[in-house]
Structure 1
Amino acid sequence: MELHGTGIGLGVALGPVVRMAEPLPEPVDRPSHLDPEKEAERARGSLSVVAAELQGRGKKAGGSAQDVLEAQAMMAEDPTLMDDIVKRLGEGKTAERAVFEAFASFREMLAAMGGYMGERAADLDDVSQRVIANLLKLPAPGVPNPGHPFVLVARDLAPADTATLDLDQVLGLVTIDGGPTSHTAILAREKSIVAVVGATDAGQLDSGDQVIVDAENDLVVVGPTEDERVAAQERIAERKARAAAPITPGALADGTPVPLLANLGSADGAAGAVELGAEGVGLFRTEFLFLDAQQAPTVVEQQEQYTRLLSAFGGKKVVVRVLDAGADKPLSFLNDAEEENPALGLRGIRALRESETILREQLTALAAADAATDADLWVMAPMVANVEEARYFTALAKELGIRTAGVMIEVPSAALLADRLLAATDFASIGTNDLTQYTMAADRMLGTVATFQNPWHPAVLSLVASVGEAGRELGRPVGICGEAAADPMLAVVLVGLGATTLSMSPSALADVRASLARYTKDDAIAIARAALAAEGAAEAQQAAKDAAGSVTAGHDVSAPTS
């Protein structure tokens, strides 16, 4: 039997299933036998314990996981939430019930806001469960420990669980819910966990079932035959051998170079990215300097962090995105005004133009860091929607000492006018997460429309092709820095559509490098054309796989054909 979902990477895992325990039941709504003050004391204590635990897990995990877990810890310590709990305790409720109701109310409010706040809402259930478990003196919900290697099957995983999985024990991960841009998928990709997410029929699996988790082919094989087991073991061994082989620059089978770059959220991840073979940085997110601050960091403070990053990539390309914030990631010193639809509001370059001093200071700090190092610094603006914004940013960046300035293509209007935008700037980088969101009119943080959030959709690929064609005609580089670049087969398609560099989570570099090395430039173009001709995302993905099989059938993909 085969179950289908969305595979993360090229990995294969083989082993017995262990099911994740179901969530704790909803606390009974009954009067408390304690006075409200005692119940409040219990609630505060449990909230504090859970916040400290999440902070500790975050420090241990590092990377994107740390950001997510620290955000969860902040939820547990939110004073507004505690005020709501105290109010409910005053009505005679138990601490368990008051915590449940307050978190549920808070979750509903954040979910309705969408965007960044909607994303945080999805993590509230995990925090609530942990606090209630602490109040009841029960083990916190989490990953089981059967004492042997296993394939974990769960409805979905909380960030706290995904971030701290014991990779010596967890062979693979299968989730019933989730999609390619969910927290689970992103963290699984970052930690190189073999995963298939969104396998809706996985609920029928039982602990002890033997399965093959085949991420490359988006499926889970239940009760595999001996031949299937042997084939899976051979693929696992081949993948380990590839990972152990000397790292080479990204390239197609005919020698066409495709530099593989890293997406980073802070300078702390630079050394690890270099170790995994990153040839530079394709997206450095600068938000970490701003999101927890009450006021914008100084030029000197920013310069110090940028210098750390650039020094780690001496002589290599480093693409920095200026602050991408706004109403969906509110900052008191930039824009914290409430908006009806933050995803379509004052964010990215729009917000920075409203507070140009912040933009000027950031560009000044970047230029100073560039002058102090020998890295090849490129700087780009987020959420550019028209040619005028491209001209504005490029001129200001050059005025303040930035040698190479470009724009992100995340809005369909920018992709449709790519020839004119690229004529006004030095390069473009396509953010496939937001480009997909805006093309498909589907909030990428909203689970109810997650099926639309798929960069394989031919409408999205057509926009990428428009940018790639403009880049070729004008001689401008076109990079990809969204999650799509980490999909090994989609990476080939993107190169076939005209992408000149690919940037991704460092852990995805090996799989993408191996995938590119199977195909020539002509192969990539043929595979991309097949995907473009499809009617939908699933059809495009299948068409690409079929075309890939056809083109590789005629030549040996184990060595370059140059």
Structure 2
Amino acid sequence: MLIRGTGIGGGVAVGTVARMADPLPEPEDRRSTLGVDAEIDRANQALARVAADLEERGDAAGGPAKQILEAQALMAKDPTLVGQVVERIGEGATAERAVFEGLAGYRELLVGLGGYLAERAADVDDVSQRVRASLAGVPTPGVPDPGHPFVLVARDLSPADAATLDPEQVLALVAGEGGPTSHTAIIAREKGLVAVVGAPEALTLQDGADVIVDAAHGTVTLEPTADELAAATARIAERAALAEAPVQPGALADGTPVPLLANLGSTDGLDDALRRGAEGVGLFRTEFLFLEADEAPSVQAQQEQYTRLLAAFPGRNVVVRVLDAGADKPLAFLDTQDEPNPALGLRGIRSLRASEQVLRDQLTALARADAATDAVLEVMAPMVATVDETRYFTALARELGIRTAGVMVETPAAALTADRILSVADFASIGTNDLAQYTMAADRLLGSVAHLQDPWHPAVLRLVGEVGAAGAALGKPVGICGEAAADPLLAVVLVGLGATSLSMSPSALADVRASLAEFGRADAERLARVALAAEGADEARAAAEAEAAAIHTAE
């Protein structure tokens, strides 16, 4: 039996299945027999315990996982939620039922808002499970411990569970739900776990079943043959040897340089990125400085973080994205408003333009950090759609001392007018996650349309090619900083479409470096042509794989 999903990374693993326990059932809707005060006290204590546990897990996990878990802890402490729970208890509900209903209402609100906030719906479900387990005095449904390394199979993983996965025990992760940019996928990639997500058929797998999980091909093979096991074991050995090999700069087989850079969500990941051979930073997300603040951080506070980042990469390129926030990531100090469709609203550069002082302070802090270090700082604006937005950002950046100012290409509008945008900007960086979302009209955070959120789709690739051609004509660099760059074969296709650098999670660097070294420039362009000629994403990937095999056979 072959099960298909979306692979995360290029790894392969062999092991036996251990399934996640089923979630707690909906609590019974009955009147409390304990009294209002006792139920309120139970609820408050359980919410506090869960918040403290999530914060503790976040501190232990660090990195992007810490931000996710801290956001969950804030949910459990949200005064509005507590007020709703107390109100329901006052009407006679048990603490369990009040928590369930209160968080269910919170979940519906986030789903209705869409975009980034819709993604938090799964986190709300996890908080609900944890609080109700605490009230019942039972373990929270979570990662099993069969006493030996295993392949974890789950409908989906909560951020709290994903953040604490032990790579020494979890050989691979298979999730029935989720897409390539879900929290499960992000944390699996960060930890270097072999993972396949968005594979609903995997939920039929039983404990103890033997499987091969192949992230490179997005497949799970049940009860593999001896030949399949031998091939998988050989690939595992090859990847282990690759990880131990001396790190070389990214390049195609003919010597064409393709710098391989790291995507970082904070300065916590610097050491890991350097250890894995990152040649610089292609995307430094600055949101960690802002998301939990009641007011924008000071210039000095920002400067300290940026200086630490730049000092780690002397003489190397470091691309920093200014605050990517707005209606779908509401911040108290930004000029935002409730919107029916936040993903298409006042976000990115639009939000910063409406709150220009926040942008001015950030650019000032970056310029000061640049002056104090030897890195090659480049700063880019998110969610640019027009030449006017490009001109606004680059002019302001240069006014405040930024020497190299560019834009992210995440909208079809920016891709289709890349020649005009790049006549103003110094460089472009393509965010393939959002570009796929807006091209395919499919929310990248919804598992129900995960099959449409595929950067292999020829429509997405064609837009990448438009930007690549514009960059080549104007002599401007075009980077890729979306998750597509972490796909070893797709990385080659992207170079064939004109990408001049690739940025990804540090754990993907070795696989992509090895893949690039197998193909010359002409090969990359050949792979790009066959992918563009396909009808859909699956067909494009298959065509590229077949063409890659033909190239290797010819050699």
TM-score when scaled to structure 2?
0.98
- Matches of residues 336-375 of structure 1 in structure 2 within 5 Å? 336-375=336-375
Offset at 1:357? 1.7
Amino acid at match of 1:474: L
Once residues 303 and 353 of structure 1 are traced to their aligned partners in structure 2, the CA distance between those partners, rounded to angstroms, is 21
**2:198·2:447 contact (CA, 8 Å) conserved in 1?**
no
The corresponding residue for 1:115 is: 115
Q: Distance in 1 between matches of 2:56 and 2:173?
A: 23
Residue 27 of structure 1 aligns to a residue whose secondary structure is: coil
Q: Which residue of 2 aligns with 1:559?
A: none
> Could you say which residue in structure 2 is the equivalent of 1:196?
196
Report the counterpart of residue 74 of structure 1 in structure 2. 74
Partner of 1:223: 223
SS of the residue 1:263 aligns to: strand
User: Which amino acid is 2:532 matched to?
Assistant: L
1:372-383 residue pairs with structure 2 within 5 A?
A: 372-383=372-383
Task: Check whether the contact 2:179–2:446 (CA below 8 A) recurs between aligned residues.
Answer: no
Match of 1:30 in 2: 30
Cα distance in 1, alignment partners of residues 37 and 515 from structure 2: 61
3-state SS of the aligned residue for 1:407?
strand
Rounded to whole Å, the distance in 2 between the matches of 1:336 and 1:407 is 22
The residue number in structure 1 matching 2:39 is 39
Which residue of the partner structure matches residue 271 of structure 2? 271
CA deviations on 1:241-289 (whole Å, 9 max, x unpaired) are: 1001111111111111110101111122112111111100001111111
Q: Which residue of 2 aligns with 1:560?
A: none
Matches within 5 A, 1:397-408: 397-408=397-408
Distance 2:459 2:205 in 1: 35
Q: Which residue of 2 aligns with 1:262?
A: 262
Partner of 2:449: 449
Deviates more, 1:492-501 or 1:439-448: 439-448
* Separation in 1, partners of 2:206, 2:540: 33
Provide structure 2 residue ranges, at least 5 long, that are not aligned to the other structure.
none
Q: Residues 282 and 319 of structure 2 are in contact (CA less than 8 Å); yes or no, is this contact kept in structure 1?
A: yes
Which residue is equivalent to 1:253? 253
What corresponds to 1:144 in structure 2?
144
Asked if the contact 1:46–1:134 (Cα under 8 Å) also holds between the matched residues in 2, the reply is yes
> Once the 2 structures are TM-superposed, how far is the Cα of residue 447 of structure 1 from its aligned partner?
3.2
- SS of alignment partner, residue 217 of structure 2: coil
- Kindly state the Cα deviation for residue 217 of structure 1 after the two structures are TM-superposed: 1.6
For residue 558 of structure 1, what is the aligned residue in structure 2? none
Cα RMSD (Å) of the superposition?
1.1
> What CA distance in whole angstroms lies between the structure 2 residues aligned with 1:467 and 1:258?
17
Contact 2:179 2:445 in 1 (8 A): no
Q: How many residues align?
A: 555
Residue-by-residue CA offset, 1:15-52 (whole Å, 9 max, x unaligned): 11111111111111112110011011101111111111
What secondary structure is seen at the aligned counterpart in 1 of 2:502?
Answer: strand
Alignment correspondent of 2:63: 63
For 2:59 and 2:159, locate their aligned partners in 1 and report how far apart those are by CA, in whole Å: 13
The structural deviation recorded for 1:452 is: 1.7
Q: CA deviation at 1:180?
A: 1.2
Shift of 1:114: 0.5
1:464 Cα deviation after fit = 0.3
Counterpart amino acid of residue 337 in structure 2: A
1:477 equivalent in alignment to 2:477: yes
Task: Find the counterpart in structure 1 of residue 315 from structure 2.
Answer: 315
8 A contact 2:283–2:319 mirrored in 1: yes
Q: Which amino acid is the alignment partner of residue 345 of structure 1?
A: G
Q: What is the SS of the residue equivalent to 1:318?
A: strand
**Contact 1:63–1:269 at 8 Å: present in 2 too?**
yes
Aligned pair 1:182/2:182, yes or no? Answer: yes
Q: Is the 8 A contact 1:8 1:194 kept in 2?
A: yes
CA distance in 2, matches of 1:430, 1:281: 14
8 Å Cα contact 1:390/1:407 also seen in 2: yes
**Is the Cα–Cα contact under 8 Å of residues 378 and 404 in structure 1 kept in the other structure?**
yes
- Is residue 509 from structure 1 mapped to residue 509 from structure 2 by the alignment? yes
CA–CA distance in 1 between the matches of 2:103 and 2:357? 38
| AA partner of residue 149 (structure 2) | P
Cα distance between partner residues in 2 of 1:205 and 1:235: 24
* Partner amino acid, structure 2, of 1:50: V
Question: Are 1:327 and 1:335, in contact at CA under 8 Å, matched by a contact in 2?
Answer: no
- Alpha-carbon distance in 2 for matches of 1:258, 1:549: 22
The CA deviation at 1:445 is: 2.3
- Report if the CA contact (8 A) 2:493-2:524 is conserved: yes
- C-alpha distance after superposition, 1:39-68 (max 9, x if no partner): 111011111111111111111111111111
Q: For 2:169 and 2:287, how far apart are their aligned partners in 1? A: 34
Matches within 5 A, 1:5-24: 5-24=5-24
In 1, Cα distance between equivalents of 2:366 and 2:166 = 38
- Match of residue 4 from structure 2: 4
SS at match of 2:377: strand
Deviations 1:486-543 (A, max 9, x none): 1111111111100000011111111111111111111111111111111111111111
Contact persistence 1:114–1:446 (CA under 8 A): no
What are the superposed Cα offsets for residues 467-501 of structure 1, whole Å, 9 maximum, x if unpaired? 00001111100000111111111111111100000
Partner deviation per Cα, 1:195-232 (whole Å, 9 max, x = no partner): 11112211221111111111112111111112221221
Deviating above 2 A after TM superposition, structure 1's stretches of 4 or more consecutive aligned residues are 445-451
Listed as ranges, the gaps of 5+ residues in structure 1 are 556-562
2:187 counterpart letter in structure 1: L
Provide the C-alpha distance between the structure 1 equivalents of 2:480 and 2:130, rounded to a whole number of angstroms: 38
Distance 2:539 2:346 in 1: 35
